[in-house]
């Protein structure tokens, strides 16, 4: 079955893929539905980041408009284990508000999208880690910027936290194993974590294993020509 991988385009040099790739958005629900019809797509797999709430909501609505089945491949959410010191908040705004108080040294493990929001709490020193070097300096008066691409290890993240004197980690509940190193390192060092919960998404079928996607593709009938 031919497939196309779609990227939003936020990473400048994504890893090479063995299938055709398109980059950029679709133009909302109607634009995505039109693409699905024009490209004669028969199955839609939403494998976006758990926090790509708008894209995931658009995918559900567009799949309904185009009359094609959809499944979401998502990472299992992290849950605290003994030794973790988590405070959970609902969203970025709540995370910013939770940082009121004396200056701290914070590992802001959010990528680059929401960094500017934390300028509202300028008393802290922020340690930032980006995949790509930014075209303009981050809008934080006191920060250290590290440009690096994972996968990261617990040992490496522990060394990073110790080197920079980190005493708080702020991150999203992205789940999975690829970004878990910082949580393992924080647990080992007794560093608290401000954990941002996942957004609420429309109801949709979900799986957590790529093999389950292949199973779904093999057993989910394509729509009729009329439905496409």
Statement: residue 146 has pLDDT above 70: yes
Determine which helix (DSSP H) or strand (DSSP E) holds 171, and give its type and residue range: strand 168-172
Supply the mean pLDDT for the chain.
Answer: 91
Between 12 and 78, where is the model more confident? 78
pLDDT of residue 14: 67
Split at pLDDT 50, 70, 90, the class of 228 is: very low
A 10 A CB-CB count for 188 gives 14
Q: Is the peptide bond before 185 cis (omega within 30 degrees of 0)?
A: no
Distance CA(99)–CA(73), nearest Å, equals 33
Q: Give pLDDT tens digits for 83-140.
A: 999 999 999 999 999 999 999 999 999 988 899 999 999 999 999 999 888 989 999 9
Distance CA(220)–CA(127), nearest Å, equals 46
A 10 A CB-CB count for 39 gives 13
Between 177 and 172, where is the model more confident? 172
Residue 75 has which token pair?
Answer: 């990472």
pLDDT of residue 26: 86
Backbone angles phi, psi at 103, to 5 degrees: -65, 140
Q: What is the dihedral of CA 132, 136, 141, 143, to 10 degrees?
A: 20
What average pLDDT does the segment 205-226 reach? 88
Share of the chain above pLDDT 90, in %: 75
Distance CA(182)–CA(160), nearest Å, equals 9
pLDDT of residue 150: 80
pLDDT of residue 9: 59
Residue 112 has which token pair?
Answer: 């680059």
Q: Quickly list DSSP for 106-164.
A: EEEES-STTGGGGGGSTTSEEEEEESS--SS--S-SSEEEEE--S---HHHHHHHHHHT
């Amino acid at each position: 079955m031919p497939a196309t991988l779609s990227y939003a385009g936020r990473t400048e040099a994504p890893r090479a893929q063995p299938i055709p790739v398109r980059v950029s958005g679709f133009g909302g629900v109607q634009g995505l539905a039109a693409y699905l019809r024009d490209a004669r797509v028969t199955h839609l797999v939403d494998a976006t980041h758990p926090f790509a709430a708008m894209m995931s909501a658009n995918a559900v609505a567009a799949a309904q408009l185009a009359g094609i089945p959809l499944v979401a491949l998502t990472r299992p959410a992290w849950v605290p284990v003994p030794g973790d010191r988590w405070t959970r908040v609902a969203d970025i705004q709540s995370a910013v508000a939770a940082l009121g108080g004396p200056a701290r040294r914070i590992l802001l493990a959010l990528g680059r999208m929401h960094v500017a929001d934390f300028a509202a709490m300028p008393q802290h020193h922020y340690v930032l880690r980006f995949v790509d070097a930014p075209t303009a300096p981050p809008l934080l008066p006191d920060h250290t910027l590290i440009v690096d691409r994972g996968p990261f290890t617990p040992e490496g993240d522990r060394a990073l936290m110790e080197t920079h004197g980190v005493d708080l980690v702020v991150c999203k509940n992205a789940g999975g194993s690829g970004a878990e190193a910082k949580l393992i390192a924080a647990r080992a060092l007794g560093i608290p974590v401000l954990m941002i919960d996942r957004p609420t998404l429309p109801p949709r079928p979900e799986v957590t294993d790529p093999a389950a996607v292949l199973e779904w593709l093999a057993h989910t009938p394509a729509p009729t020509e009329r439905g496409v």
